[in-house]
Amino acid sequence: MTSTEGTPAADAYPRKILEYMEGFLISKTVFASCELGVFDVLLGAERPLSAEEISQAVGASLDGTQRLLAACTGLQLLNTQQDQGRVFYSNTEQASVYLTRSSPLSLFQSIQYNSRTIYLCWHYLTDAVREGRNQYEKAFGVSSKDLFEALYRSDEEMVKFMQLMNSIWNICGEDVITAFDLSPFKVICDLGGCSGALAKQCTSAYPECTVTIFDLPKVVRMSREHFVSEADQRISFHQGDFFKDPLPEADLYILARILHDWTDERCIELLSRIYKACNPGGAVLLVEALLHEDGSGPLTVQLYSLNMLVQTEGRERTAAQYAALLAAAGFTNIQHHLTGKIYDAVLGHKEM
């Protein structure tokens, strides 16, 4: 045991505590800059712009824009250069790649979802911890009895969530899909496949496979309208509720960011249904953010687990905890692979 008594006076300034206390200021600065279109304007201009030019382009006050640009410069999201006493701004490479709407790797939609949905739910974190349940009712005035009825409470909200998934898998999808060699599995079913972004990663990495996206009817409708085109010939859809309706037979089932939404009991219920439908010699791939086995980190995943409390019925888990859920449903030869990014992969097999 270590003691913190007698801490030197030099450590008395609570720098880290102050950073934590004011961390939301950084998030909201990024959110506001994206919502106003600051990074899009700078990308489109193809030259550095003054604060006056940017404020006019985004329809904001000059004073407010100057302060916002200064903060973004301090956050190393913008570069500045001086010319005849005037300051001109341009995007950093990271801002152009991840914060502009038109970039293939854009996180813009993810940022919008964090700003307009998750941020509002986190206003009730204290209540979530006290009560041990999600806070959709307080945040949005909708019942959270049916988790995905609350999550998809309007078409607009559903599209926002699907765009969030799209942006995440554009960055992390290839890593989780290639964490194991999935080429032996020709018939793949992506349960809760949402926008189809991970299905596209599958068909790209494994040219001989076909992927069926299984999701709720309204999600399938939105995916067809906005995300998956007829050009994606090896991707098909199957409408249903994976807790209630028959699952298509497949060699491999993918559950990407699904089990973390649910209690252990519900996870085993779903995995048991998958085991029953799975072809002999098949497998299930879990894509989740994994906690260290002792629960000591990563910090991002610890925070995600709090988010699961605020938003869902579930939690983030360790590889061993996911392995126990898989084993309880009958899967064997369970392995996990850390990608070094946000999401990792766990693979469980069904014997021949």
3-state helix, strand, coil in the chain (%, to 5): 50, 20, 35
Exposed / middle / buried, residue 94 (Cβ in 10 Å: 0-12, 13-18, 19+): exposed
Q: Is 205 exposed, middle or buried (0-12, 13-18, 19+ CB in 10 A)?
A: middle
User: What are the residue numbers of the active site?
Assistant: 260
- Determine the Cα–Cα distance for residues 205 and 29; give it in Å rounded to an integer: 37
Return d(Cα 9, Cα 6) in angstroms, integer.
9
CA atoms within 13 A on the CB side of 182: 36
26, 29, 148, 102 alpha-carbon torsion, rounded to 10°: -120
Which residues, other chains included, contact 167 with Cβ-Cβ below 8 Å and sequence gap of 6+? 106, 107, 108, 109, 110
Closest CA to 57 of 79, 35, 38: 38
CA distances from 302 to 124, 221, 248, 260, 334 (A): 18, 34, 34, 12, 23
Inter-helix orientation angle 264-277/319-328, to 10° = 50
Continuous segment of H or E residues that includes residue 304? helix 299-311
φ and ψ at 207, to 5 degrees? -60, -15
